[in-house]
Amino acid sequence: MANTLFDALFAKHADNTGLFIDDPIDNQSVTYKAFIEQTGRLANAITAAGLKPGDRLVAQVGKSVNALALYGACVRAGVVYLPLNTAYTDAEVDYFVSDCSASFLVCDPNDADRLNAVADKASAMLMTQSRDGNRGTLPDAAQAESTEFDTVNRSVDDLCALLYTSGTTGRSKGAMLTHGNLLSNTFALTELWEFTKDDILLHALPIFHTHGLFVATNIALLSSARLIFEPKFDLDRIIERLPHATCMMGVPTFYTRLLADVRLDKSLVGNMRLFVSGSAPLLAETHRQFESVTGHTILERYGMTETNMNTSNPYKGDRIAGTVGLPLNGIDLKITDPNTGTTLPNGEIGVIEVRGPNVFKGYWKMPEKTAEELRADGFFITGDLGTIDEHGYVSIVGRNKDLIITGGYNVYPKEIEQVLDDQPGVLESAVIGVPHADFGETVVGILVADGPTMDLEHIKTSVEQSLARFKHPNQLLVVEELPRNTMGKVLKNVLRDRYADLFSDKDS
Ligand code: AMP
């Protein structure tokens, strides 16, 4: 029997009495052995309920050790795991369950009455699991099962998980990830970031997304590291636990929130060896401030649901602020012309394309979409715009769809955002294009103030001095905060919708 992912990450811990999860404050811990036994019980429970290899299990459950064990159980039983954001509404869950023809839905007991109809419609079985993972029909059924389970054969090309993209434009698409995709990326990152069994990873990311589920968890499993497993990023709890950890993986907002707290200093992070950031752009300013306050340079990496991780700043070597580093071992990355697909020379802005064992198999039941984005030679067209510098470092300048074309000129929002972010009194900014009768689109800058000192006239003058005229925002707006998704990404589509009519009755 061979199961690519289970053998490499889970099976080797069957007799490991070392700790997998350990909270240094509450003294709650789970050994690797107990965790693997739970994957056995759950694998028995879901197969007893009728799940067969290749079937899809949708889990909209809280972040708990049992939720991680459910992921392991699916890998073990050859079942395709589909974790969902807990914020999704019933209608959204309905879409995912029916789109992937799920056979099984696991939800919170409080949602069961409502989601029963969704499960019924899809002829899927519904079981429950409470937020802490301990109560519900699924943990109860697992409790009665044996810890022994005959692990199902799965090879590199077999489907392991279906992760739906956040779907900011059009329908959310199910990215088909194989055992080989996940394992190759885990090996590359574990080696590059030098994870060992002595590491204690502060895990505060959600586990329905590639960052917290695959990057963080799989690396810990491969390296036999320990997790401090937090339900979410709670500033006080994180500050309390940082002295006990050796590394943390976060989204940029983790770092800005830490920086806003006076308790962050060198002594608090004296035990740490690595801070990783990704899933959304880390401001160069945050990178610099974090270094000056803690002495640590945040390591920024770049990835996406469809590809796992693509690039990373080096562990040893220069971690350059504002860049996402170099392609990972075994991954080819190029910048191409969005219109012709030809490779562009270093220094030019174009679409980032990647190829390697990390790249997904395609979108679930969307062969046309897959063909549009996945070339026959294996390169995936990421939709991110970026450049490569003379040392091979990749920088992201935004999403292709966020590109603004005004009066025939291409405007990259990031270039303007950088100028706006540098202005006194500005905390952060987002630049979008909105419809305009003369120019097709025109540039709008949306600012969040950092206290009462922001001076819009001064900002306009500075922008005029630093950027070509066609890049000047036609209007600057001030908002309390920018709309973001759970991973900290600014939702530019929401801003574009909100300001779509800004110039509809103006002729300027
Ligand atoms: P998701 O599929 O939700 O993980 O989103 C992937 C997208 O997040 C990428 O295509 C990028 O647009 C963005 N992203 C991920 N990491 C970074 C990063 N380090 N800097 C800028 N954008 C990033």
The tens digit of pLDDT for each residue in 336-365 reads 999 899 999 999 999 999 999 999 999 999
Q: What is the pLDDT of residue 508?
A: 44
Query: What's the average model confidence in pLDDT over 463-478?
Result: 92
State whether the beta carbon of 250 lies less than 6 angstroms from ligand 1: no
- Any atom of ligand 1 within 6 Å of the Cβ of 280: yes
Q: How far apart are CA 122 and CA 98, in angstroms?
A: 6
| Residue 234 pLDDT > 50 | yes
User: What pLDDT, on a 0 to 100 scale, did the predictor assign at position 146?
Assistant: 98
Q: Per-residue pLDDT for 232 more than 90?
A: yes
How sure is the predictor about 409, in pLDDT bands with cuts at 50, 70 and 90?
Answer: confident
469 or 12: which carries more pLDDT confidence? Answer: 12
* Percent of the residues in the chain that have a pLDDT greater than 70, as a whole number: 98
Distance 279 CA to ligand 1 centre (A): 4
Question: What confidence score (pLDDT) does residue 400 get?
Answer: 87
CA–centroid distance, residue 333 to ligand 1 (Å): 15
- Cβ–Cβ < 8 Å for 421, 428: yes
Which 3-state string (H, E, C) describes 178-209? EHHHHHHHHHHHHHHCCCCCCCEEEECCCCCC
Q: Whose CA is nearest to atom 10 of ligand 1?
A: 304
Contact 239, 261 (CB under 8 A): yes
CA dist 381 → 354, 356, 385, 392 (Å): 7, 13, 10, 19
The Å distance, Cα 330 to ligand 1 centre, comes to 20
**Does residue 382 have its Cβ closer than 6 Å to ligand 1?**
yes
- What's the whole-number mean pLDDT along residues 213-226? 98
Of 208, 214, 253, 304, best ligand 1 pocket probe by most atoms within 8 Å of the beta carbon: 304
User: End-to-end alpha-carbon separation of the chain, Å?
Assistant: 70
Domains of the chain plus CATH, in order, are 27-154 (3.40.50.980), 404-498 (3.30.300.30)
Top mean pLDDT of 85-89, 365-369, 402-406, 484-488 is at 365-369
Strand runs (DSSP E) across 174-291, as ranges?
174-178, 200-203, 226-229, 247-250, 274-277
- Among 314, 358, 316, 305, CA closest to 333: 358
pLDDT tens sequence across 361-401? 999 999 999 999 999 999 999 999 999 999 999 999 988 88
Contact 443, 472 (CB under 8 A): yes
Among 403, 434, 428, 431, which Cα is nearest to 497's?
434
Q: Which of 177, 427, 488 is nearest to 285 (CA)?
A: 427
> In one letter, which amino acid is 498?
R
- The residue contributing the CA closest to ligand 1 atom 4 is 304
Ligand 1 and 305: CB distance under 6 A: yes
CB of 302 closer than 6 A to ligand 1? yes
Give Cα separations from 506 to 307, 474, 501 (angstroms): 43, 12, 10
CB of residue 165 inside a 6 A radius of ligand 1? yes
Q: State the Cα–Cα distance between residues 67 and 59, nearest whole angstrom.
A: 8
Distance in Å, CA 487 to ligand 1 centroid:
9
Nearest to 162 by CA among 181, 175, 172: 175
